[in-house]
Amino acid sequence: MTTMTIAKAITAGLRRVLEQNPKSLLIGEDIGKLGGVYRVTEGLQAGFGEDRVVDSPLAESGIIGTSIGLALRGYTPIAEIQFDGFVFPAFNQITTQLAKMRSRSEGRFGAPVVIRIPYGGGIGSIEHHSESPEALFAHTAGLRIMVPSNAHDAYWMIQEAAASQDPVIFFEPKRRYWLKGEVDTENPAPPAAAAQVVRPGRDATIVTYGPLVPVALAAAEAAQEDGRSVEVVDLRSVSPIDFDTVVESVEKTGRLVVTHEAPTFGGIGGEIAARVSERAFLSMEAPAIRVGGFHMPYPVSKVEDQYLPDIDKLLDALDRSFAY
Protein backbone atom coordinates (compact mmCIF):
# COMPACT_ATOMS: atom_id res chain seq x y z
CA MET A 1 0.00 0.00 0.00
CA THR A 2 1.22 3.45 -0.85
CA THR A 3 -0.47 6.80 -0.61
CA MET A 4 -0.68 8.62 -3.92
CA THR A 5 -2.61 11.42 -5.55
CA ILE A 6 -4.89 10.43 -8.41
CA ALA A 7 -2.47 12.13 -10.82
CA LYS A 8 0.49 10.17 -9.54
CA ALA A 9 -1.49 6.94 -9.47
CA ILE A 10 -2.16 7.40 -13.19
CA THR A 11 1.53 8.13 -13.73
CA ALA A 12 2.41 4.92 -11.91
CA GLY A 13 -0.18 2.97 -13.89
CA LEU A 14 1.16 4.34 -17.17
CA ARG A 15 4.69 3.51 -16.11
CA ARG A 16 3.64 -0.08 -15.52
CA VAL A 17 1.96 -0.27 -18.92
CA LEU A 18 5.10 1.06 -20.60
CA GLU A 19 7.24 -1.46 -18.71
CA GLN A 20 5.07 -4.46 -19.40
CA ASN A 21 3.83 -3.82 -22.93
CA PRO A 22 6.71 -2.99 -25.27
CA LYS A 23 4.20 -2.01 -27.94
CA SER A 24 2.59 0.64 -25.77
CA LEU A 25 3.35 4.28 -26.30
CA LEU A 26 2.05 7.64 -25.15
CA ILE A 27 1.30 10.49 -27.53
CA GLY A 28 -0.03 13.99 -27.00
CA GLU A 29 0.70 17.70 -26.68
CA ASP A 30 3.33 18.67 -24.10
CA ILE A 31 3.38 15.20 -22.50
CA GLY A 32 7.08 14.55 -22.97
CA LYS A 33 9.56 17.11 -21.82
CA LEU A 34 6.99 19.03 -19.79
CA GLY A 35 5.31 15.91 -18.47
CA GLY A 36 1.87 17.22 -19.39
CA VAL A 37 0.21 20.39 -18.17
CA TYR A 38 -0.92 18.42 -15.12
CA ARG A 39 2.37 16.52 -14.89
CA VAL A 40 0.59 13.19 -15.23
CA THR A 41 3.25 11.93 -17.62
CA GLU A 42 6.11 13.50 -15.69
CA GLY A 43 9.36 11.55 -15.91
CA LEU A 44 8.03 9.05 -18.43
CA GLN A 45 9.84 10.43 -21.47
CA ALA A 46 13.07 10.52 -19.49
CA GLY A 47 12.49 6.89 -18.57
CA PHE A 48 11.23 5.45 -21.84
CA GLY A 49 12.51 7.74 -24.57
CA GLU A 50 10.99 9.97 -27.20
CA ASP A 51 9.67 7.11 -29.32
CA ARG A 52 7.48 5.85 -26.53
CA VAL A 53 6.45 9.15 -24.99
CA VAL A 54 5.82 11.35 -27.96
CA ASP A 55 5.44 15.13 -27.97
CA SER A 56 3.07 15.48 -30.89
CA PRO A 57 2.46 18.37 -33.23
CA LEU A 58 -0.47 20.50 -32.12
CA ALA A 59 -3.31 18.67 -33.84
CA GLU A 60 -5.90 16.54 -32.09
CA SER A 61 -7.32 14.92 -35.19
CA GLY A 62 -3.75 13.98 -36.01
CA ILE A 63 -3.12 12.60 -32.53
CA ILE A 64 -6.15 10.32 -32.64
CA GLY A 65 -5.91 9.50 -36.34
CA THR A 66 -2.28 8.44 -36.06
CA SER A 67 -3.06 6.54 -32.89
CA ILE A 68 -5.58 4.54 -34.87
CA GLY A 69 -2.91 3.85 -37.49
CA LEU A 70 -0.44 2.79 -34.81
CA ALA A 71 -3.06 0.46 -33.35
CA LEU A 72 -3.66 -1.06 -36.78
CA ARG A 73 0.05 -1.71 -36.91
CA GLY A 74 -0.05 -3.57 -33.60
CA TYR A 75 0.84 -0.81 -31.17
CA THR A 76 -1.07 0.24 -28.06
CA PRO A 77 -1.27 4.02 -28.21
CA ILE A 78 -2.37 5.93 -25.14
CA ALA A 79 -3.20 9.39 -26.40
CA GLU A 80 -3.68 12.45 -24.26
CA ILE A 81 -6.06 15.27 -25.10
CA GLN A 82 -4.86 18.25 -23.09
CA PHE A 83 -8.30 19.42 -21.92
CA ASP A 84 -11.89 18.23 -22.32
CA GLY A 85 -12.83 21.17 -24.53
CA PHE A 86 -10.08 20.37 -27.04
CA VAL A 87 -11.17 16.86 -27.98
CA PHE A 88 -13.51 18.09 -30.67
CA PRO A 89 -11.05 18.53 -33.52
CA ALA A 90 -10.66 14.74 -33.08
CA PHE A 91 -14.37 14.03 -32.86
CA ASN A 92 -14.53 12.82 -36.42
CA GLN A 93 -11.68 10.33 -35.94
CA ILE A 94 -13.16 9.09 -32.67
CA THR A 95 -16.75 8.65 -33.77
CA THR A 96 -16.48 7.69 -37.44
CA GLN A 97 -13.25 5.69 -37.31
CA LEU A 98 -12.13 4.60 -33.87
CA ALA A 99 -15.54 3.53 -32.61
CA LYS A 100 -16.43 1.70 -35.80
CA MET A 101 -13.24 -0.10 -36.73
CA ARG A 102 -14.42 -3.42 -35.34
CA SER A 103 -17.84 -3.32 -36.94
CA ARG A 104 -16.46 -2.10 -40.24
CA SER A 105 -13.89 -4.90 -40.33
CA GLU A 106 -16.72 -7.36 -39.68
CA GLY A 107 -15.20 -8.22 -36.34
CA ARG A 108 -11.75 -9.04 -37.74
CA PHE A 109 -9.95 -6.33 -35.83
CA GLY A 110 -10.47 -3.17 -33.86
CA ALA A 111 -8.31 -0.22 -32.90
CA PRO A 112 -7.51 -0.48 -29.21
CA VAL A 113 -6.56 3.12 -28.55
CA VAL A 114 -6.81 4.71 -25.12
CA ILE A 115 -7.69 8.41 -25.01
CA ARG A 116 -6.93 10.11 -21.72
CA ILE A 117 -8.87 13.33 -21.13
CA PRO A 118 -8.61 15.51 -18.00
CA TYR A 119 -12.21 16.60 -17.60
CA GLY A 120 -14.73 18.47 -15.50
CA GLY A 121 -15.01 21.82 -13.79
CA GLY A 122 -14.60 23.39 -10.41
CA ILE A 123 -11.06 24.59 -11.09
CA GLY A 124 -11.81 28.27 -11.73
CA SER A 125 -10.48 28.12 -15.24
CA ILE A 126 -11.25 29.83 -18.52
CA GLU A 127 -13.49 28.60 -21.34
CA HIS A 128 -13.17 25.02 -22.66
CA HIS A 129 -11.19 23.82 -19.62
CA SER A 130 -14.08 22.58 -17.47
CA GLU A 131 -16.35 20.50 -19.63
CA SER A 132 -17.88 17.06 -19.20
CA PRO A 133 -18.53 15.66 -22.67
CA GLU A 134 -18.88 11.99 -21.66
CA ALA A 135 -22.46 11.63 -22.90
CA LEU A 136 -21.41 12.53 -26.44
CA PHE A 137 -19.06 9.57 -26.42
CA ALA A 138 -21.34 7.25 -24.46
CA HIS A 139 -23.89 7.76 -27.21
CA THR A 140 -21.36 6.38 -29.68
CA ALA A 141 -21.38 2.59 -29.81
CA GLY A 142 -17.94 1.02 -29.90
CA LEU A 143 -16.24 3.13 -27.23
CA ARG A 144 -15.71 2.11 -23.64
CA ILE A 145 -15.71 4.98 -21.20
CA MET A 146 -13.99 4.82 -17.84
CA VAL A 147 -14.00 7.46 -15.11
CA PRO A 148 -11.96 6.74 -11.99
CA SER A 149 -12.78 8.60 -8.79
CA ASN A 150 -9.91 7.56 -6.53
CA ALA A 151 -6.21 6.78 -6.69
CA HIS A 152 -6.50 3.00 -6.42
CA ASP A 153 -9.02 2.80 -9.25
CA ALA A 154 -7.01 5.27 -11.32
CA TYR A 155 -3.88 3.13 -10.99
CA TRP A 156 -5.62 -0.07 -12.02
CA MET A 157 -8.18 1.22 -14.47
CA ILE A 158 -5.62 2.92 -16.70
CA GLN A 159 -3.89 -0.45 -16.96
CA GLU A 160 -7.18 -2.15 -17.70
CA ALA A 161 -7.85 0.44 -20.40
CA ALA A 162 -4.47 -0.19 -21.98
CA ALA A 163 -5.11 -3.94 -21.98
CA SER A 164 -8.57 -3.67 -23.51
CA GLN A 165 -9.15 -4.87 -27.05
CA ASP A 166 -11.65 -2.02 -27.46
CA PRO A 167 -11.00 1.70 -27.64
CA VAL A 168 -11.33 3.36 -24.25
CA ILE A 169 -11.94 6.99 -23.39
CA PHE A 170 -10.44 7.54 -20.00
CA PHE A 171 -11.87 10.62 -18.33
CA GLU A 172 -9.68 11.89 -15.51
CA PRO A 173 -11.44 14.05 -12.91
CA LYS A 174 -8.98 16.91 -13.04
CA ARG A 175 -10.18 18.74 -9.96
CA ARG A 176 -9.40 15.58 -8.00
CA TYR A 177 -5.92 15.07 -9.44
CA TRP A 178 -4.43 16.03 -6.07
CA LEU A 179 -6.80 13.88 -4.02
CA LYS A 180 -4.73 11.36 -2.13
CA GLY A 181 -5.66 7.77 -1.50
CA GLU A 182 -4.23 4.36 -0.69
CA VAL A 183 -3.07 2.40 -3.72
CA ASP A 184 -2.56 -1.32 -3.40
CA THR A 185 -0.21 -2.17 -6.23
CA GLU A 186 -0.51 -5.89 -5.51
CA ASN A 187 -4.26 -6.35 -5.58
CA PRO A 188 -6.09 -5.12 -8.66
CA ALA A 189 -9.25 -3.08 -8.41
CA PRO A 190 -12.42 -4.75 -9.71
CA PRO A 191 -12.98 -4.36 -13.44
CA ALA A 192 -14.12 -0.88 -14.44
CA ALA A 193 -17.43 -2.20 -15.67
CA ALA A 194 -18.34 -3.23 -12.12
CA ALA A 195 -19.90 -0.32 -10.24
CA GLN A 196 -18.99 -0.16 -6.57
CA VAL A 197 -21.13 0.63 -3.58
CA VAL A 198 -18.75 3.06 -1.88
CA ARG A 199 -21.06 3.75 1.04
CA PRO A 200 -23.85 1.41 2.04
CA GLY A 201 -27.25 2.77 3.00
CA ARG A 202 -30.90 1.80 3.35
CA ASP A 203 -33.09 4.81 2.52
CA ALA A 204 -31.89 6.30 -0.77
CA THR A 205 -29.25 5.75 -3.46
CA ILE A 206 -27.00 8.37 -5.01
CA VAL A 207 -25.42 7.20 -8.26
CA THR A 208 -22.45 9.14 -9.58
CA TYR A 209 -18.91 8.86 -10.93
CA GLY A 210 -15.64 10.73 -11.22
CA PRO A 211 -15.29 14.13 -9.54
CA LEU A 212 -18.65 14.01 -7.75
CA VAL A 213 -18.03 10.83 -5.79
CA PRO A 214 -16.51 12.74 -2.86
CA VAL A 215 -19.41 15.22 -3.04
CA ALA A 216 -21.97 12.41 -2.94
CA LEU A 217 -20.17 10.83 0.02
CA ALA A 218 -20.19 14.15 1.87
CA ALA A 219 -23.89 14.60 1.12
CA ALA A 220 -24.59 11.09 2.43
CA GLU A 221 -22.68 11.94 5.57
CA ALA A 222 -24.69 15.13 6.04
CA ALA A 223 -27.96 13.25 5.41
CA GLN A 224 -26.96 10.80 8.12
CA GLU A 225 -27.28 13.64 10.60
CA ASP A 226 -30.93 13.91 9.59
CA GLY A 227 -31.30 10.21 10.19
CA ARG A 228 -31.25 9.27 6.53
CA SER A 229 -29.13 6.34 5.47
CA VAL A 230 -27.89 7.03 1.95
CA GLU A 231 -26.11 4.54 -0.26
CA VAL A 232 -23.56 5.85 -2.78
CA VAL A 233 -22.75 3.98 -5.98
CA ASP A 234 -19.63 4.88 -7.95
CA LEU A 235 -20.26 3.81 -11.56
CA ARG A 236 -16.55 3.91 -12.60
CA SER A 237 -17.61 3.16 -16.17
CA VAL A 238 -20.29 5.03 -18.09
CA SER A 239 -20.12 2.72 -21.08
CA PRO A 240 -20.99 0.08 -20.27
CA ILE A 241 -23.01 0.95 -17.18
CA ASP A 242 -23.42 -1.65 -14.47
CA PHE A 243 -27.22 -1.44 -14.23
CA ASP A 244 -27.39 -4.60 -12.12
CA THR A 245 -25.61 -2.95 -9.22
CA VAL A 246 -27.67 0.23 -9.57
CA VAL A 247 -30.97 -1.64 -9.78
CA GLU A 248 -30.07 -3.83 -6.83
CA SER A 249 -29.35 -0.73 -4.76
CA VAL A 250 -32.57 1.03 -5.74
CA GLU A 251 -34.60 -2.12 -5.10
CA LYS A 252 -33.24 -1.97 -1.58
CA THR A 253 -33.55 1.78 -0.93
CA GLY A 254 -36.51 2.72 -3.13
CA ARG A 255 -35.09 6.16 -3.97
CA LEU A 256 -32.65 7.28 -6.65
CA VAL A 257 -30.69 10.46 -7.18
CA VAL A 258 -28.24 10.54 -10.09
CA THR A 259 -25.65 13.27 -10.31
CA HIS A 260 -22.97 14.37 -12.74
CA GLU A 261 -21.41 17.67 -13.77
CA ALA A 262 -22.54 17.29 -17.37
CA PRO A 263 -25.87 18.83 -18.32
CA THR A 264 -28.81 16.66 -17.31
CA PHE A 265 -30.55 17.00 -20.69
CA GLY A 266 -29.51 14.05 -22.84
CA GLY A 267 -27.07 12.92 -20.18
CA ILE A 268 -26.01 9.73 -18.45
CA GLY A 269 -28.43 10.44 -15.59
CA GLY A 270 -31.42 10.26 -17.91
CA GLU A 271 -30.29 6.88 -19.17
CA ILE A 272 -29.94 5.57 -15.64
CA ALA A 273 -33.31 6.96 -14.58
CA ALA A 274 -34.99 5.33 -17.56
CA ARG A 275 -33.36 1.93 -17.09
CA VAL A 276 -34.07 1.87 -13.39
CA SER A 277 -37.71 2.78 -13.95
CA GLU A 278 -37.97 -0.03 -16.49
CA ARG A 279 -36.43 -2.59 -14.19
CA ALA A 280 -37.32 -1.50 -10.67
CA PHE A 281 -40.46 0.60 -11.01
CA LEU A 282 -42.37 -1.29 -8.37
CA SER A 283 -39.59 -0.82 -5.83
CA MET A 284 -39.46 2.93 -6.28
CA GLU A 285 -40.96 5.22 -3.67
CA ALA A 286 -40.24 8.33 -5.76
CA PRO A 287 -39.24 9.21 -9.30
CA ALA A 288 -35.55 9.26 -10.08
CA ILE A 289 -34.11 12.75 -9.62
CA ARG A 290 -31.22 14.08 -11.65
CA VAL A 291 -28.79 16.69 -10.37
CA GLY A 292 -26.47 17.98 -13.04
CA GLY A 293 -25.41 20.89 -15.16
CA PHE A 294 -27.90 23.16 -16.84
CA HIS A 295 -28.67 23.35 -20.55
CA MET A 296 -26.01 25.93 -21.35
CA PRO A 297 -22.35 26.08 -22.31
CA TYR A 298 -20.24 25.61 -19.20
CA PRO A 299 -20.51 29.02 -17.54
CA VAL A 300 -17.76 31.47 -16.62
CA SER A 301 -15.82 30.53 -13.53
CA LYS A 302 -17.26 33.30 -11.35
CA VAL A 303 -20.60 31.50 -11.35
CA GLU A 304 -19.53 27.89 -11.77
CA ASP A 305 -20.34 27.17 -8.13
CA GLN A 306 -23.98 27.85 -8.90
CA TYR A 307 -23.83 25.54 -11.89
CA LEU A 308 -22.09 22.56 -10.40
CA PRO A 309 -23.84 19.95 -8.28
CA ASP A 310 -22.76 20.32 -4.66
CA ILE A 311 -23.71 18.94 -1.27
CA ASP A 312 -26.64 21.32 -0.88
CA LYS A 313 -28.09 20.40 -4.24
CA LEU A 314 -27.84 16.72 -3.42
CA LEU A 315 -29.50 17.25 -0.03
CA ASP A 316 -32.22 19.23 -1.77
CA ALA A 317 -32.72 16.36 -4.23
CA LEU A 318 -32.91 13.90 -1.35
CA ASP A 319 -35.50 16.12 0.34
CA ARG A 320 -37.56 16.13 -2.84
CA SER A 321 -37.26 12.38 -3.10
CA PHE A 322 -38.30 11.85 0.51
CA ALA A 323 -41.22 14.25 0.04
CA TYR A 324 -43.03 11.68 -2.11
Ligand X SMILES: Cc1ncc(C[n+]2csc(CCOP(=O)(O)OP(=O)(O)O)c2C)c(N)n1
**Which residue in 166, 46, 43 sits closest to 113, CA to CA?**
166
Task: Tell me the closest approach of the beta carbon of residue 317 to another protein, in angstroms.
Answer: 10
226, 244, 305, 324: residue in contact with another protein (rule CB under 8 A): 305
* Contacts (Cβ under 8 Å, ≥6 apart) of 147: 134, 170, 171, 173, 209, 210, 235, 236, 237, 238
Q: Which is nearer to another protein, 197 or 311 (CB)?
A: 311
Gap between the Cα atoms of 53 and 41, Å rounded: 8
Residue 80 makes contact with ligand X by CB under 6 A: no
Give me the residues paired with residue 86 across strands.
none
- In the complex, the smallest distance separating the C-beta of residue 61 from another protein, rounded to whole angstroms, is 5
Site for ligand X, residues 87 to 106, rule: CB under 6 A: 89
Contact code string over 144-183 relative to another protein, x by CB under 8 A: ----------------------------------------
Residue 186 CB neighbours (<10 A) = 6
Phi, psi angles (nearest 5°) of residue 70: -60, -40
Cα–Cα nearest to 85, from 147, 128, 114, 27: 128
The pattern of x and - marking residues 240 through 269 that bind another protein according to CB under 8 A reads -------------------------x----
- How far, CA to CA in Å, does 139 sit from each of 26, 91, 157, 240? 26, 13, 21, 11
Partner in contact with 303, chosen from ligand X, another protein, none, beta carbon below 5 to 8 Å by kind: another protein
- Assess whether 139 carries a catalytic annotation: no
Residues that bind another protein (CB under 8 A): 29-30, 32-35, 37, 55-62, 85-86, 88-89, 124-128, 265, 294-297, 299-307, 312-313, 316
- Residues recognised as catalytic: 129
